Amino acid sequence: MFGYEVAVQAAIDAGAESMFGYPITPTCEILSGWANSGKKCLQTEDEIAAGFEVCGAAMAGEKSFTASAGPGHILLQDSFSMAEAMRLPAVLIAGQRGGPSSGTVIYSQQEVMLACFGGNGEGMRLVYSPSSVIELYQLIRRAFNESWQYRYPAVVLTDGYVLKTRQPVDLSVFKDIKNIPPANLVPEGKNIHWPNIYTSEEELNTILEQNKKDYDNISGEVESFENYKTEDAEILLIAHGIIGAVAKMAVEELRQKGIKAGLFRPITLRPFPRKELNNVCCWKCIKRVVVVESSFGQLARLVHEQLAQEVSVSLSYFQRPGLGIESDEVVEFVKKLEI
Amino acid sequence: MTESKTNLAKFCAGCGHPIVLMMLHKILKDKKLEAKAVLGLDIGCSLLAWNYLPINTFQTHHGRVVPTMVGFKRVRKDSVSMAYVGDGGAYAIGLQSLFHAALRDEPVVVFVVNNTVYGMTGGQTAPTTLVGQVTPTSPDGFGGVPLHGPEVLKQVANKDAFIARAAVNDPKQMLEFITKAIEAQNAGHFALVEFLSFCPTNWRTTGVDTLKRLDDMRQSYSCGVL
Amino acid sequence: MLFKILISGDGGQGVQTMADIISQAAFSKDYFVSYVPNYGLEQRGGSSLAYLQISDDAVAYPKFSSPDVLLIMSDEARGRVSDYIGKSASIFDIKDYLEYLNENNVNKISYNVFFLGLLAKILDDNKIGLSKEIFSVLEKKLGKKPNWEENKRYYLLGSK
């Protein structure tokens, strides 16, 4: 199946009833795929409307989502900020493309900051980064479940390569995943009075502190990672999304060359698997950490933020903004490192 | 999110919003629609209605109340979904979505409270500001073209959509149009009622002058069903 | 010397006018001044707060949580500044002045002029002599208006 077909199937299996979206490469096929699925679909006048329609549907108690990329992802920050403020389970499948501006319609890992911290809030979102078509399916299922269970907006941050890649997939292994049911956020006759603006700084601060507390409480349940051959690694690669898969291959190739490499792959970027990152980075065997990404450091920024002060590691960066990365490039880079 | 509690009305003395909201409440109550009613608010003085009526009410973003209610109504078909917005939220930043909602004949009721200025931020020009009107952003008098929202939307709306304009000093017409707007939604169509309203705070008028200015507005914005 | 005054009242009572007058007065006597208003959303009503600092040195940050003087001019404002009540060196609350104000026929909309007089006296008592300057700015602002004599009386009453 193509990545975009899997995305549509995952949303269907997750119990989504509607999609609102605006065509933008590389996510157009998700919109048209959904439109042909028999489920409710609306092509909107822009991504702003799409995002707010998803919010409205969520408030009305229906699982709804949108898909976008690049400039559309920017426009979605308006609605996703509202979703952050009002704890709405809005779901976005973001297919990263080159940026800034129109960039390319193809691929990048340059929307990490946008997905994690876009808008005028504090990044209390759930952000998932799949490294394969099959993981795309899994994480979309999780996005719907966890956003409804914990009431934070969710972004499945993929890219134009994964969405347009065709791979053999066996979805039957997932047939037993249970769906969290949607909740009626505005029950008839309940008389809800629901603001997102407050009179004083103190009022806002109190609400934010509570939202943060809730967010920190769920981190244990939500944060996910993959540790690959890190126990005795001297070179630790950190990568996410499709580059995570590439980095895994690089680990294999390096090991064959006698270099003890390992991979720490965050699967959730928000909440970031901080504890495990620090755990791994503390291991005495590690001589160098290399952050590998198709951006000028958006993943690295997250890593920096999460590294505890006491953890001292030597960091190197392999950055190719807007460009795909192949495993042999990573291998060459590591071989040339002076350690 | 709060349950209904005693409202500390934050509208200025002489504001048109409480009049519109009172009329709306009367209709909802008379027709026993309070439970099914859902009122979405825009930004600006409209947001002050967030805890005003004993019905489900929520704030949204500037210019985004219409798409939010479109999404809501599509799920809850039996709700009375209303978007409550000022002239700026409706005809400037939110015009795109309002236009397309009318074009698609989305069954939402849009109430536009038009006072020709951006009230909450201090009276700057709005799409409905009249030629020559002096505001903080048109100190030499407004030189643009006032937007007649309902007239524009009428061009693209379904023939069974309900589009009208009333003034806040005409309660009979207000009640009639609110009723018809809700009926249009029940019949599956788009509805918009623009209320010509006053803002004595930013108009810097009092009493009789305020009413006179409202009557002047009626020279440019005609009341009735389009 | 750093003197912090927090003035609070209902929107429309003239809190910001008072702060503006004191700021101008202090500035004219070469003090460093910092003044920042704080409101709610509404154009009218709601609480209006003014954070005023008069200093011998440049003031870096406009807000403070421990005023030397907290002035409360309305019931709603009292609620709004409740967090400051335990942290203020001196508090002047309208509820303690209502009787006096009524006895002396002070017009409700001119309470701020009365309290401006009061603040001028407080500043004098704290060795920040600004009475002349404050009165002068007040006169410039209201001198040509019809009820100046009344306002003058209220100011002098407050500064006693």
| Angstrom distance (rounded) from CA B89 to CA B83 | 11
DSSP chain C: -EEEEEEEEETTS-HHHHHHHHHHHHHHTT-EEEEEEEE-S-SSSSEEEEEEEEESS----S--SS-SEEEE-SHHHHHHTHHHHTT-SEEEEGGGTHHHHHHTT--GGGHHHHHHHHHHHHHHHTT---HHHHHHHHHHHHTTSTTHHHHHHHHHHHT-
* Mean of pLDDT values over A115-136: 97
Within a domain: residue B116?
A: yes
Q: With bands split at pLDDT 50, 70 and 90, how would you rate the model's confidence at A151?
A: very high
Partner B contacted by C45 (CB < 8 A): yes
**Are B3 and A20 an interchain contact pair (Cβ–Cβ within 8 Å)?**
no
Could you tell me which of A241, A311, A309, A303 has the C-alpha nearest to residue A282?
A311
In chain C, residues with a C-beta closer than 8 Å to the C-beta of B202 are 43
pLDDT of residue B1: 60
Angle at the Cα of A76 from the Cα atoms of A72 and A77, rounded to 5 degrees:
125
| Predicted confidence (pLDDT) per residue in A32-74, tens digit | 999 999 999 999 999 999 999 999 999 999 999 999 999 999 9
Q: Which residues pair with B86 in a beta bridge?
A: B113
Q: Give the sign of the dihedral formed by CA A115, CA A117, CA A120, CA A126.
A: positive
Tokens of A2: 């193509």
**Are C83 and A202 an interchain contact pair (Cβ–Cβ within 8 Å)?**
yes
pLDDT of residue C41: 85
| Angstrom distance (rounded) from CA B31 to CA B14 | 28
**Are C41 and B13 an interchain contact pair (Cβ–Cβ within 8 Å)?**
no
* Mean of pLDDT values over A187-197: 96
Within a domain: residue B12?
A: no
Neighbours of chain B (3+ CB pairs under 8 A): A, C
First to last CA, chain A: 43
**Are A197 and C40 an interchain contact pair (Cβ–Cβ within 8 Å)?**
no
**Are C44 and B201 an interchain contact pair (Cβ–Cβ within 8 Å)?**
yes
Domain count, chain B: 1
pLDDT of residue A18: 98
* Mean of pLDDT values over A70-79: 98
Q: Is the pLDDT of residue A168 over 70?
A: yes
**For position C81, which CATH number holds?**
3.40.920.10
Partner A contacted by B47 (CB < 8 A): yes
CB pairs under 8 A between A and B: 135
**Residue among A197, A199, A202 minimizing CB distance to C46:** A199
Distance from CA of B161 to the nearest CA of C (A): 34
Neighbours of chain A (3+ CB pairs under 8 A): B, C
pLDDT of residue A310: 86
| Predicted confidence (pLDDT) per residue in A98-108, tens digit | 999 999 999 99
Within a domain: residue B2?
A: no
pLDDT of residue A284: 86
| Angstrom distance (rounded) from CA B114 to CA B196 | 5
Q: Within a 13 Å sphere around the CA of C109, how many CA atoms are in the beta-carbon half?
A: 3
pLDDT of residue B4: 40
| Predicted confidence (pLDDT) per residue in A256-300, tens digit | 999 999 999 999 999 999 999 999 999 889 999 999 999 999 999
* Mean of pLDDT values over A181-210: 96
Tokens of A38: 């028999």
Within a domain: residue B61?
A: yes
**For position B151, which CATH number holds?**
3.40.50.970
| Angstrom distance (rounded) from CA A135 to CA A155 | 14
| Angstrom distance (rounded) from CA A149 to CA B15 | 42
Q: What is the share, in percent, of chain A residues with pLDDT greater than 90?
A: 96
- The residue ranking higher by pLDDT, A168 or B67, is B67
Tokens of A74: 């920017």
**For testing the chain C interface, which of A196, A197, A198, A200 should be mutated: the one with the most C CBs within 10 Å?**
A200
**Are A196 and B2 an interchain contact pair (Cβ–Cβ within 8 Å)?**
no
Contact between residue A65 and residue A90 where contact means Cβ atoms under 8 Å apart: yes
pLDDT of residue A283: 87
First to last CA, chain C: 24
| Angstrom distance (rounded) from CA C104 to CA A36 | 80
| Angstrom distance (rounded) from CA A7 to CA A93 | 8
Domain count, chain C: 1
Q: Which residues of chain B have pLDDT under 70?
A: 1-8
CB pairs under 8 A between B and C: 23
Which ipTM was obtained for this model? Answer: 0.94
Within a domain: residue B169?
A: yes
Within a domain: residue B7?
A: no
Q: Is the pLDDT of residue A200 over 50?
A: yes
Q: Which residue does chain C place closest to B121, by CA atoms? A: C43
Partner A contacted by B37 (CB < 8 A): no
* Mean of pLDDT values over A152-165: 97
Q: Is the pLDDT of residue A214 over 50?
A: yes
Tokens of C126: 């704290």
Structural domains for chain A: 3-222 (3.40.50.970), 225-336 (3.40.50.920)
pLDDT of residue B7: 53
Question: What residues make up the domain containing B22?
Answer: 17-225
Q: Is the pLDDT of residue A17 over 70?
A: yes
* Cα distances (Å, whole numbers) of residue A332 to A246, A321, B36, B201: 13, 18, 65, 70
**Are C43 and B119 an interchain contact pair (Cβ–Cβ within 8 Å)?**
yes
In chain A, residues with a C-beta closer than 8 Å to the C-beta of C76 are none
Sheet with strand B56-59: strands edge to edge:
A193-194, B56-59, B37-41, B80-86, B109-114, B191-196, B162-167, B224-225
* Cα distances (Å, whole numbers) of residue C23 to A9, A260, B120, C4, C20: 66, 68, 27, 12, 5
| Helix, strand, coil % over all residues of chain B, rounded to 5 | 40, 20, 40
Could you tell me which of B114, B92, B89 has the C-alpha nearest to residue B220?
B114
| Angstrom distance (rounded) from CA A337 to CA A314 | 11
Chain A residues bordering chain C (beta-carbon distance below 8 Å): 197, 199-200, 202
- Local structure of residue B73 (DSSP, 8 states): H
Question: What residues make up the domain containing C124?
Answer: 2-158
* Mean of pLDDT values over A324-339: 95
Distance from CA of A197 to the nearest CA of C (A): 9
Q: What is the pTM of this model?
A: 0.94
Q: Which amino acid is at B180?
A: K
Q: Which residues pair with C91 in a beta bridge?
A: C70
Contact between residue C20 and residue C28 where contact means Cβ atoms under 8 Å apart: no
Q: Which residues of chain C have pLDDT under 70?
A: none
| Angstrom distance (rounded) from CA C39 to CA A61 | 36
* Cα distances (Å, whole numbers) of residue C14 to B24, B103, B166, C18, C62: 35, 49, 36, 6, 20
CB pairs under 8 A between A and C: 7
**For testing the chain B interface, which of A18, A47, A52, A54 should be mutated: the one with the most B CBs within 10 Å?**
A52
